[in-house]
Structure 1
Amino acid sequence: MMNAINHVGASSPNTQGLKVNASHGIILYVEAVSVSFDGFKALNDLSLYINDGELRCLIGANGAGKTTLMDVITGKTRPDYGAVSFGQSIDLLEMDESSIAQAGIARKFQKPTVFEQHTVFENLELAMSRQKGVISTLFARLNSSERDLIAETLKTIGLHNHHRMPAGRLSHGQKQWLEIGMLLIAQPRLLLVDEPVAGMTAQETEKTAELLTSLAGERSVVVVEHDMAFVRSIARKVTVLHQGSVLAEGSMSEVQSNPDVIEVYLGES
């Protein structure tokens, strides 16, 4: 898609009116990306393509490069070489973290970060205030479309019956769903989710699978996860990383039967 580069820094372009072009069916291009830390190659000539509207699972042992890849996509880490673009028109390596988020890429980290003293509804309202680029305030009057968006988001994340509850009283799984909702308020085209079911009960894990599956289609969802039972429950396409490169890619059954994957990650069992 783009020529390989040796990228040193990034500018902060005005993302106002910036629209992703996924007319070729691909929303994210990661091409020949390499990242080194003190001589250790965290990513090694890695290429990855995410289709518009798909749900993709990334798996791999610790140190395989999953977190570094997420960091590169979101602008936290700059690659030594390679190209990363959002659709055909947006060069992510020319943008800072804030600009990338405004362009339509949202990232959820493993540990939920919510405002525990505020209600579920207020958390979503505060997330909306951040997106509008104004000082967050609970006293700003929402218009009808904003209220409709919050109501729709509450239904999507399954917390519409808890909208008046302080976030601090939610279960761990519910806090995870609330934070996903806070990201959805910005209506991203690409959602990156890191180990969403760590520490969840079996019931919460099942509901999280339903939630993430429902989000794909309107947007693309990339899930990094170690829980293989969870991955099996949601996986449509799986990418296996190993030593900073793509080791295998395909359906869960294809990946599970791949001899290289069996040897280095899944084990003989």
Structure 2
Amino acid sequence: MSELIFEPEAAGMHTPVAPVDATHGILLYLEGVTVSFDGFKAIDNLSLYIGDGELRCIIGPNGAGKTTMMDIITGKTKPDAGRVFFGQTIDLLKLDEPAIARIGIGRKFQKPTVIEPLTVLENLELAMSGAKRLRGLMTTRMSGEERDRISAVLDQVGLNEQAQRLAGVLAHGQKQWLEIGMLLMQEPRLLLVDEPVAGMTPAEMERTAELLKSLAGNHSVVVVEHDMGFVRSIADQVTVLHQGRVLAEGRLDELQVDPLVIEVYLGGEDAHH
């Protein structure tokens, strides 16, 4: 096995590097955000506000700008115009991707990125210590506090009984929960979750709904999802994106009778889920 490399000065650092000021009740601000790719406006004067501790679902047709929006929040893409703030004081446009992750923004992509040859427990320990600062993963003894945190996350994502199993042999839904657990080890204030129930069984979807709802309050959770049944089961507030801007916002039952929303989105195949 090749030698593990880590950053000594950062070893063990898993807490956000700056306090997040959400005293106004809003954790994430996007204001007047625009980004173009080869002349096409993927995001067009988008303004969006996510409350502290809120669970928000983002829906919209393909090409509505959902992925680009998450790329902007996490620093992968820089907009041409607009403001993006985390709390009152942290300007996300001045930070790169690693810095944004460190201050408490975690992103879960659609395809799980667990490390399959490692156990569930080892995946969580790796996520806690940071991928670039592996503290001799197989040999270092965990502190009691670290052990307690891992135990709490295992319990939260429902993988206690799978702790010693290799991640590669988990069911699809369990891999998704493990990845959410890996994000939780980094103590994010905001979680961005992309299509979490794609390919899941109904029982896995139900468990995922319970998990995401349990995270709200301690975390703000933004879920991009196509499955309307799942959205209905978890979201109080839904935002509809269309052509890079907010088309409508509100409760799903209200949006489902909005003529404009029906025309551009819910009238399509997604309405039948």
2:167 is the counterpart of 1:163: no
Residue correspondence of structure 1 range 201-220 to structure 2 within 5 A? 201-220=201-220
TM-score by length of 2: 0.91
Gaps of 5+ in 2: 1-14
Show the counterpart of 1:79: 79
After TM superposition, list the pairs within 5 Å mapping 1:224-235 onto structure 2. 224-235=224-235
Letter in 1 for 2:156: T
TM-score (norm 1): 0.92
Given residue 197 of structure 1, which amino acid in structure 2 is its aligned partner?
V
Give the equivalent residue in structure 2 for 1:94: 94
Instruction: After TM superposition, give the deviation of residue 16 of structure 1 in Å.
Output: 6.8
Percent sequence identity is 66
Question: 1:109·1:193 contact (CA, 8 Å) conserved in 2?
Answer: yes
| Aligned-CA RMSD value | 1.5
Runs of 4 or more consecutive aligned structure 1 residues displaced over 6 Å after TM superposition = none
- Supply the distance in 2 between the matched residues of 1:209 and 1:254 (Cα, whole angstroms): 21
Superposition pairs of residues 38-187 of structure 1, within 5 angstroms: 38-130=38-130, 133-135=133-135, 137-187=137-187
Q: For residue 31 of structure 1, what is the amino acid of its counterpart?
A: E
Q: How far, CA to CA, are the matches of 1:215 and 1:16 in structure 2?
A: 18
Amino acid at match of 1:102: R
Distance 2:51 2:30 in 1: 12
Q: 1:248 to 1:128 in 2, by over 3 A?
A: same
Paired position in structure 2 for 1:245: 245
For residue 262 of structure 1, what is the amino acid of its counterpart?
Answer: I
What whole-Å deviation, never above 9, does each CA across 1:174-218 have from its counterpart, x for those lacking one?
Answer: 000000000000110000000000011110011000000000000
CA distance in 2, matches of 1:136, 1:65: 41
How many pairs were matched up? 255
Q: How big is each residue's C-alpha offset from its partner over 1:151-174, in whole Å with a ceiling of 9 and x where there is no partner?
A: 000000000011011111100000
Q: Relative to structure 2, which stretch is displaced further, 130-139 or 228-237? A: 130-139
Secondary structure of the equivalent of 1:265?
helix
Question: Is 1:19 equivalent to 2:19 in the alignment?
Answer: yes
Instruction: Check conservation: 1:131, 1:186, Cα contact below 8 A.
Output: no
Task: Specify the alignment match of 1:256 in structure 2.
Answer: 256
Name the SS of the counterpart of 2:248 in structure 1. strand
1:161 is paired with a residue whose SS is helix
Q: Where does the alignment leave 5 or more consecutive residues of structure 1 unmatched?
A: 1-14
1:200-251 CA-to-partner distances (Å, cap 9, x unmatched) read 1110011000000000000100000001110011111000000000000011
Contact 2:53 2:219 in 1 (8 A): yes
Q: What's the secondary structure of 1:196's corresponding residue?
A: coil
SS in 1 for 2:107: strand
